[in-house]
Structure 1
Amino acid sequence: MSQPIGFVDPLLPNHVCLLKKSIYGLKQSPRQWFAKFSNHLIQFGFQSSSADPSLLFYKHDSKILYILIYVDDILLMGNDEFFIQHLLRDLQQHFRLKNLGNINHFLGITVQSTENGLTLNQAAYASTIISRAGMETCKLLTTPMALKPVSASNSEQPFHNSDLYKHLVGSLQYLTVTRPDISYTVNKLCQFMHKPLNGHFSLLKRLLRYLKGTLAFGLVIQPTKLQLSAFSDSDWAGDPIDRKSTTGYCAFLGHNLISWQVKKQHTVARSSIEAEYRSLATAAADVLWLRRLLQEFDIHVNKPTTIFCDNISAISLANNPVFHARTKHIEIDYHFIRDCVKSESVTIQHVNTVDQVADNFTKPLSTKRFTDIRHKLTLMETSVSLKGGDKQTI
């Protein structure tokens, strides 16, 4: 510790101020707060989730409560209103908490109740990003990325304001929490954060023009059968610079989209089978985590989870106990998939390319194809308000 400039005592130069209250922003402050708060909940009778450390649950007799903690934002739900109020009174005796009632906003996500379920959107957050870019009056587009990028004469020149590029792309990363339709484009933009060119900023502006026309879009969550399934896909050697492939997958609980990811593979795949196989391994790892999480919500997944893949050769490799010499270099992923199939945690099934909803996470698509998949990803237009805060929690 050292005294700030201007606060040094001439008579006691080696003394520092006594810190009476922890400063918000210290690296360990959120961790210490979470440890103190979670320990109190555990003493109350809660248990920590093995799948997600920020999730705690209480199960006693017929009472079930779940509490989700993100630093000082807390989301609480349960099936016993009287017991929830009892818990709130106990917490308010030990912590400075404000009960904001039923959830409307949480971490910048607007939650709207409808007759058929819930809708999640970040319209206000997306509007703020567009305003920061100065594109409030821009023309609208129907897709976030063109099938064939148009290169201008200055596309290869460095973009003059790299800080603006980094700021906007960093903000867009959080927007993908409720907008899976832009995940692939945001992933592409993130690959050039170190040195953006004019061509990359043109792609960023196209994405913002698409967002401007789809501000009202959000994820729809409706009552459905609690059956877990997933789709896996890859774009073999899709990167024209280093020829690495892109992994894309999404998981559904019934008809509701609950998890998705776009990720560039670390090494170059020697064949489309290898690229698809690595995508299957990534999807299987996420499925295993989701199965463990669902068990803690008392959703018992007794049957193998189906992962749909449109590459017949990769499916055959996953189910074939014979290890071919040509696949020795992907042995780790091979054994992982084989173990998942053998233990009946997952099962791999073929899906027609037309029905492969993970296409949206691996490559740019035509307007019609993109719109069809966006609808299958349960992204729909809803009536939203751009007003409101970001802490409608406890």
Structure 2
Amino acid sequence: MEQLPGFQIGGPSIVCRLLKSLYGLKQASSILNKTLHAKLLAMVLMHLESDCGLYALKKDGEVTLLLSVYVNDLLLMDPRKQCEEVAPLQETHELTTVGAVKYLLGVEILINKTRKQIVYSQRQYVLEVLKRFHMENCNECATTEATTPSTAEVPATKEYLPYRELEGALQYLVNASRPDIVHATRHLGNDYGLMMDVEPGQGVQVCAYSDIDYANDPVDRGRISGYVTMLDNNVVLYASRKQEINSLSTCEAEYVAMAEATKDLLWFAGLCK
């Protein structure tokens, strides 16, 4: 680390050696994760191989506690109000308990204990994205995608559009709470308040559905796979992307889509074990 102004000893070529990480350094998050990981393992929490940010505590063969880690944000899922198992974590880390989760990483979460239901959305995040990319006054659209592409020329614009930032913002929406914009996005302006809900089911039932769009794009005739994985009728995984191979028939394209859905299904099955 460079010496602080006013405390330089031995000239500007002499630097300080850090004995521990400082907040703001690019290595800080990695070092924090390593120390936190070692502490959680010492507390007899099991690190799940399917998700490197998820820890579980098992008693008598059943999972009694789940702990989700995202850098320095921890989400504890435990049926009790007070959890003694994570109390030793305060010995080495300064923790701030904020109570029941309401807003996490841009996702608004509402827990209804009476109905045993969890509802989450990204309404505020969508409004911020629309405003950020000058689409807050966009016209409403009744359909998500046109069945036939328009042949009208779009007038050129001099407005600078940070395309990669826009794509990343929309992709975060897709990953967190909006499977409806995984392929078409033009209805986002009038459906920014859509919510997803999670309700308990009878036992643990996992199923997946897949489908394709075969050569309907007049530009490249590409094949588009789409699939969704559900746990007790709750949507948990979904995707829609162009296939990387050129299928010779709809039957072959269907098998490719099923293979892609099976990959996520196997990963999710490993997560549930």
Please report the TM-score for the alignment, with normalisation by the length of structure 1: 0.62
Match of 1:246 among 224, 234, 237: 224
CA-CA distance at 1:169 after TM superposition? 2.4
Relative contact order, higher structure (CA 8 A, sep 6+): 1
DSSP-derived class of the 1:75 partner = strand
Kept after mapping to 2: 8 A contact 1:238/1:246: no
Code of the residue aligned with 2:71 in structure 1: it is: V
Q: Distance in 1 between matches of 2:10 and 2:43?
A: 50
Q: Distance in 1 between matches of 2:19 and 2:143?
A: 54
Does residue 133 (structure 1) correspond to residue 137 (structure 2)? The answer is no
Aligned to 1:184: 183
Structure 1 residues 105-184: aligned runs within 5 Å: 105-114=103-112, 115-116=114-115, 117-154=117-154, 160-161=158-159, 163-176=161-174, 177-184=176-183
Kept after mapping to 1: 8 A contact 2:56/2:63: no
Q: Which has the higher helix share?
A: 1
Code of the residue aligned with 1:165 in structure 2: it is: Y
Code of the residue aligned with 1:113 in structure 2: it is: I
Aligned to 1:101: 99
Kept after mapping to 2: 8 A contact 1:119/1:218: yes
Deviations 1:37-58 (A, max 9, x none): 0110110110111211211111
Does residue 218 (structure 1) correspond to residue 195 (structure 2)? The answer is yes
Q: Which has the higher strand share?
A: 2
Aligned to 2:58: 59
Aligned to 1:28: 27
Q: Distance in 2 between matches of 1:154 and 1:88?
A: 58
Q: Distance in 2 between matches of 1:241 and 1:25?
A: 46
Structure 1 residues 279-290: aligned runs within 5 Å: 279-290=257-268
Q: Distance in 2 between matches of 1:264 and 1:27?
A: 35
Kept after mapping to 2: 8 A contact 1:246/1:264: yes
CA change 1:43–1:211 in 2 (3 A) is same
Code of the residue aligned with 2:68 in structure 1: it is: L
Deviates more, 1:240-249 or 1:250-259: 240-249
Q: Unaligned regions of 5+ residues in structure 1, if any?
A: 187-206, 296-394
Kept after mapping to 2: 8 A contact 1:247/1:279: yes
Deviations 1:257-304 (A, max 9, x none): 111011211122221111111101111111111111111xxxxxxxxx
Aligned to 1:42: 41
Kept after mapping to 2: 8 A contact 1:243/1:268: no
CA-CA distance at 1:88 after TM superposition? 4.3
DSSP-derived class of the 1:286 partner = helix
Kept after mapping to 2: 8 A contact 1:108/1:125: yes
DSSP-derived class of the 2:169 partner = helix
Kept after mapping to 2: 8 A contact 1:236/1:269: no
Code of the residue aligned with 2:14 in structure 1: it is: H
Kept after mapping to 2: 8 A contact 1:248/1:279: yes
Deviations 1:299-320 (A, max 9, x none): xxxxxxxxxxxxxxxxxxxxxx
Deviations 1:315-351 (A, max 9, x none): xxxxxxxxxxxxxxxxxxxxxxxxxxxxxxxxxxxxx
Kept after mapping to 1: 8 A contact 2:53/2:70: yes
Kept after mapping to 1: 8 A contact 2:21/2:27: no
Kept after mapping to 2: 8 A contact 1:233/1:276: yes
Q: How many residues align?
A: 268
Kept after mapping to 2: 8 A contact 1:118/1:222: yes
CA change 1:268–1:63 in 2 (3 A) is closer
Aligned to 2:234: 256
Aligned to 1:203: none
DSSP-derived class of the 1:118 partner = strand
Q: Distance in 2 between matches of 1:24 and 1:238?
A: 51
Aligned to 2:246: 268
Deviations 1:339-386 (A, max 9, x none): xxxxxxxxxxxxxxxxxxxxxxxxxxxxxxxxxxxxxxxxxxxxxxxx
Q: Distance in 2 between matches of 1:288 and 1:36?
A: 30
Q: Distance in 1 between matches of 2:168 and 2:63?
A: 41
CA change 1:232–1:9 in 2 (3 A) is same
Q: Unaligned regions of 5+ residues in structure 2, if any?
A: none
Aligned to 1:231: 209
CA-CA distance at 1:154 after TM superposition? 3.3
Q: Distance in 2 between matches of 1:58 and 1:130?
A: 41
CA change 1:124–1:15 in 2 (3 A) is same
Q: Distance in 2 between matches of 1:165 and 1:151?
A: 23
**Percentage of pairs with the same residue:** 30
Please report the TM-score for the alignment, with normalisation by the length of structure 2: 0.87
